[in-house]
Amino acid sequence: MPDLAGVMKRVVESEMCFSTAVQHNSKFSNRLNQQSLHDSFCSILPGLPDDIAMFCLALIPRKYTPIMGAVCKRWRMFIQSKDFIPVRKETGMLEEWLYFLTSDIDGKGSHWEVMSSLEGKTWMLPPMPGSVKAGFSTVVFDGKLLVIGGFSVNDGIQSTSADVYQYDARLNRWTMLAKMNVARYDFACTEVNGMIYAVGGYGSDGESLSIAEVYDPDMNEWTLIENLRRPRYGCFACSFGGKLYVMGGRSSFTIGNSRFVDVYSPEGHSWCEMKNPGCVMVTAHAVLGKQLFCMEWKNQRMLAIFDPADNSWRKIPVPLTGSSTIGFQFGILDDKLLLFSLEEDPGYGTLIYDPAAPAGSEWHTSSLKLSGPCLCTATIKA
């Protein structure tokens, strides 16, 4: 194994290499195209075993990973590989960033921004491809953000989508993945054991769906699985203990809200159901640690917490006075739950809930303010 001084020297040389690449982007891009085949057979860092080289590259701050991806094909392959995040974790260099979708200034569109700390400094992501949509779902997997389905309205005509777009936080770019088998919106979606599930929602004709399907990221392929026992829309999903939980929303075969939790076992390829004594019509939800946090439309001043260990619910008050019609969107950062107010109001700032804090001091307010209304959030560690 090389000495530490030699290793760090190569890290510095590598950082200088991709910094120079940025300054001479066009010339470098031409050279990159000419040598891409050669690069695929080269060492990651000449003179070092690949495992040591990967360790060295993992020490470089995350903000430079898009630049690293432009240096050579081998670096880009490593950044995009399944090895990248485990090696980053081993080096202690994993960084957690909060991504959020917010409305444009004119209110006619939306854009994604990212925030790296509770200090509130944000910057914009490249524009997402496709038309502006509502009713879509988001999932985070392997350092990537997937935006799935939804509907758009053009000239008064609504169009339901099966499109799937992926934002790669390591390379700061969007790509399009395989479409779902069924176009849908207002559906449940989450990741379980490395697979992504889309369940229920509304279809192209406005009908409520019981259809479920699963996406395999390695194959870039969606496959239909066993249907729900009843159609379900406006619902949400989460993963606990290797199983898929679908909660809340409504069913066309019941009056009022759905009071069942549909649970899917990937191993058994089957659904079962259990009574839901907790939340039904959920306006915001987030999984923090091993618990699910929810807020219901009928009670915006209570936080409902689900513990899957014993299928129990408990509720705690949100420390706010005034109108209960002002709702919140959740975010997760630094192992804390952030509550962003959905309306501009001097009395409603950003609340932070710390489940690890001593009893009585879990809540505090923050000066953190987003650039516009928060439509949805996603937390990515990479």
All domains of the chain, ordered by start, with CATH?
4-91 (no CATH), 96-381 (2.120.10.80)
pLDDT the model gives residue 33: 41
Token pair for 130: 């496709």
* DSSP type of residue 62: G
pLDDT the model gives residue 341: 84
d(CA 87, CA 192): 22
Token pair for 363: 């809540």
Token pair for 238: 């989460």
pLDDT the model gives residue 64: 92
With b for 16 or more beta-carbon neighbours within 10 A and e for fewer, the 129-153 pattern comes to: eeeebebbbbbbbbbbbbbbbbbbe
Q: Compute the half-sphere exposure of residue 50: CA atoms within 13 Å on the CB side of its CA.
A: 11
Distances (CA, A) of 348 to 117, 246, 329, 352, 365: 21, 31, 12, 12, 9
pLDDT the model gives residue 345: 65
Positions of the chain with pLDDT lower than 50, given as ranges = 1-12, 14-41
* DSSP type of residue 289: T
d(CA 9, CA 11): 5
Q: Which amino acid is at 142?
A: D
Nearest CA to 85 among 172, 170, 150? 170
d(CA 15, CA 29): 17
pLDDT the model gives residue 343: 73
CB within 8 Å of 170: residues ≥ 6 apart? 62, 65, 66, 69, 79, 80, 84, 143, 382
Q: Which amino acid is at 255?
A: I
pLDDT the model gives residue 35: 41
Q: Give φ, ψ of 58 to 5 degrees.
A: -70, -20
pLDDT the model gives residue 47: 86
d(CA 9, CA 376): 42
With 0-12 CB in 10 A as exposed, 13-18 as middle and 19+ as buried, what is 163?
buried
